[in-house]
Amino acid sequence: MAVLGEIQDYQIAASAVFVISTLGLVVNCLVFLFVLRIPSMANPFGHLVTNQSIGNVIHLCLFSFYFSPMVFFDIDAMKKYSHYCGVFLIMSFEVSLYTHTVISLNRFCAICLPFRYRRIFT
């Protein structure tokens, strides 16, 4: 435990993770809202971007509101159950990763197979 008023290295790291993940959370929420509001994004690509932003929001929420406070304040009770948080972190990361792969495939088909694109992705 740190002496009151003395900032430890792990607290600086937790603060940096909190700031970056909170910024990412705001940006991904804006992406989610913009994709829903823009009529031209009502297509398979827009649905994939929405799916990826949801996965990212879950991932970033866990980092902002579970991981960062656990590390900054050195909370043992949160450390005891952090493996559950880890499972959700891995699942949300996998959702984002696989969605990113499908988005890449979607863009590849849109560029290289423009006449088959509608049949493949609808």
In a domain, 3, yes or no: no
Answer yes or no: is 83 within a domain: yes
Q: What is the DSSP string of 13-79?
A: HHHHHHHHHHHHHHHHHHHHHHHHH-GGG-SHHHHHHHHHHHHHHHHHHHIIIIIHHHHHHT-HHHH
Q: How far apart are the C-alpha atoms of 59 and 88, rounded to whole Å?
A: 8
Each residue's pLDDT, cut to its tens digit, for the chain (122 residues) gives 555 678 999 999 999 999 999 999 999 999 999 999 999 999 999 999 999 999 999 999 999 999 999 999 999 999 999 999 999 999 999 999 999 999 999 999 999 999 999 999 98
Torsion of CA 39, 43, 95, 60, to 10 degrees: -10
A 10 A CB-CB count for 13 gives 13
The total number of structural domains that make up the chain: 1
Structural domain for 77, as ranges? 9-121
Task: Say if 96 falls within a structural domain.
Answer: yes
In a domain, 1, yes or no: no
Residue 75 lies in a domain: yes
